[in-house]
Amino acid sequence: MATQEKIQNARRTYRTLNDENAQYKKLIFELRKRVKRYKLSQAHQICVKGSKSWSHNQEQ
């Protein structure tokens, strides 16, 4: 295999690996973002439930 071919193949391989790495990082970012959103919604639901029971106790 000629040196020029090796260089061309290396560039192609690097580009492919770089694209796959970027896709992986984007996937991880999106998953973390969804987990944060889920945790925030759960915390919000707990706060809403807590404030309802607190206001109910205040009325009695």
Range of the domain at 53: 1-60
Structure confidence at residue 54 (pLDDT): 56
Q: How many domains does the chain have?
A: 1
Per DSSP, the residues of 1-60 read --HHHHHHHHHHHHHHHHHHHHHHHHHHHHHHHHHHHHHHHHHHHHHHHHHHHHHHHHH-
Structure confidence at residue 60 (pLDDT): 53
> From first to last of its 60 residues, what are the pLDDT tens digits of the chain?
577 787 778 878 788 888 889 999 999 999 999 999 999 898 888 888 776 665 555 555
